[in-house]
Structure formats: structure tokens, C-alpha cells
Amino acid sequence: MWGHELTASNPIVLVHGSNGGGWVWKRVAPVLRAAGHDVYTPTLSGLADRRHLLASGIDLTTHVDDVANLLVYEDLSDVTLVGHSYAGMVISGVAATAPERLKRVVYLDAYVPDPGQSATDLWPEERRAYAERADPSGEGVARPPPLALFGLTDPGLVEWIEARMSPHPVATYAQPVPRGDARSAALERVFISCTANPATTPDVFGPFAEKARSSGWAVYEVAAGHLVMFTAPEELAQVLSEVAARG
């Protein structure tokens, strides 16, 4: 009885990328809720409001479990699971381990790994500098990148974001995603490409949009930079709502 009474309506789970937290969706989630979606914005272990867990040996499995456990404890099914940037790794892991809870997985300018690949396997050569910068002191964390890299120049917005970004556990980048089964392979997959990144920003995610197209996925484009949830939240929410409403 309880499960039927409390079942979420057209649920969307939004998973943030590196150095973020559930807070990154602050401008997007209200728009989706106003459109009739039940929206969940978990924070991955070791980050933001869960940064006190950073010294707990966190890896990709931890983050996959964070989201998979949310699906169970919130009694969610037919979920549209969205992962931004690094979280493409996380949602791929959730799709492999908990496909029965999902309706589709949505890669928002995100990594699209094959089974057995890690995030570092997918890094382009120009991103190797990030790997060197990520953990210079051996602390096991990646520091937030400069926001100017993503074309954010508004001083107030930059200050607000920088105050909330946190170090990211680098072990999550090295662990490969698990291999799923036939149910995982049958899930609908969608890619949302951010097409207005500055020319000086390495095109890390463009190749994954092309990979999605060649795989026959639906590919949507948003004329905004990689941090679209801050710069074009209503446009992003409109696309997400349209995707979640797909049959």
C-alpha cells in the first residue's frame, strides 16, 4: 500500500559532475518540478554537504551505490537518470547494476564509457595536465578547475559557485565501469550536447556526442557551455522535461 501511495511521478534523478553536489541543480530542479516531475538531486559521497566522508576510501563503486541506493530507498522506478560530465561514469554504473529501476539514462555533456573503461581511459591528451594538477600533494583529491575555462565570467555567479565547489576523490576516475546485462543494454540512452563552449576550452565531450549519434541515440543540443545548469537552466530544464516525457 505504501509503495503505491508514495510512488514518484515521472521521476528524474540528476547526478552532478566533479567537484559539485546536489546544489548545482538549484536553478533547474524547480523548473522541472513546476512541469510535474518528481526531481531528486543526490550529492555523491565526499563532495559538498557530504565532504566529511572524503577520507572514506571513495571510488566509482561508492558513487554508483549512492545513486542506486537512492532509487531503492525512495522506491523509484521508470526513472530518467541524468548524469553531467564525470557522472556519465556513475549513471553507466547504475544502468549496469540497477537497470530494473530505470527507464532511460541521459548523458548531459558527459563521458560515455564502454564496459571496463575508466574516466582516465577517456581523457583526451590535453586533459593530462588536469591529472597532473589533480593530486599534486598526494591527498587523493582533484581540486576544482578555474571556472573561466568554461566561459563563466559573471563575478557574482563565479563567486557563488566557487564557494560551493569541493575537492573530488581521484580514485573515482581510475575505476572502470562494470559490465551490465541484457536489461542494461536495452535501456534507452540519450545524449545532450552543450554546443557553446569557449573556443579555448578543450572539446572533451564532443566526441561522445558523435559516439551517441553513431550508436543511434537521440541527441539533443543546447546552445550553452558545459556548465549549462548555471547559464541556461530553463533551456536545460525544457530539454530534460521533453526527454523524460518520451514514450
Instruction: Pick the closest to residue 86 from 63, 52, 116 (CA basis).
Output: 63
pLDDT tens-place string over residues 183-195: 999 999 999 999 9
Q: Write down the pTM of the prediction.
A: 0.93
At residue 126, the pLDDT reads 65
145: which residues sit within 8 A by CB, 6+ positions away?
19, 130
- Judged against a pLDDT cut of 70, whether residue 95 lies above it is answered with yes
What pLDDT does residue 142 have? 84
Q: 70: Cβ–Cβ under 8 A, 6 or more apart, which residues? A: 13, 40, 42, 76
pLDDT at 1 over 80: no
Number of domains composing the chain: 1
Would you say residue 3 has pLDDT above 80? no
Is the predicted pLDDT of residue 212 greater than 80, yes or no? yes
User: What does the pLDDT average to over 143-163?
Assistant: 92
Tens of pLDDT, residue by residue over 161-182, are 999 999 999 999 999 999 999 9
Position 134 scores a pLDDT of 56
pLDDT of residue 199: 78
Task: Residue 126: give the domain boundaries.
Answer: 2-244
Q: Is the pLDDT confidence value at 135 over 80?
A: no
Nearest to 95 by CA among 87, 175, 22: 87
d(CA 77, CA 82): 14
Strand-pairing partners, residue 108, are 84, 192
Q: Of 120-134, 166-180, 199-213, 224-238, which range is least confident?
A: 120-134
- Alpha carbon 246 to chain centroid, angstroms: 20
Grid coordinates representing 37 are: 516531475
Mean pLDDT of the chain: 91
CATH number at residue 127: 3.40.50.1820
The CB-side HSE value for 154 (13 A sphere, CA atoms) comes to 7
CA-to-CA dists, residue 107 to 3, 38, 202, 219, angstroms: 29, 19, 18, 9
Question: Which residues sit opposite 220 in a β-bridge?
Answer: 192
Q: What DSSP element (H or E) covers 114?
A: none
8 A C-beta contact, residue 15 and residue 83: yes
Confirm whether 18 is a catalytic residue: no
The catalytic residue among 18, 45, 85, 166 is 85
Instruction: Count CB-CB contacts under 10 A for residue 228.
Output: 25
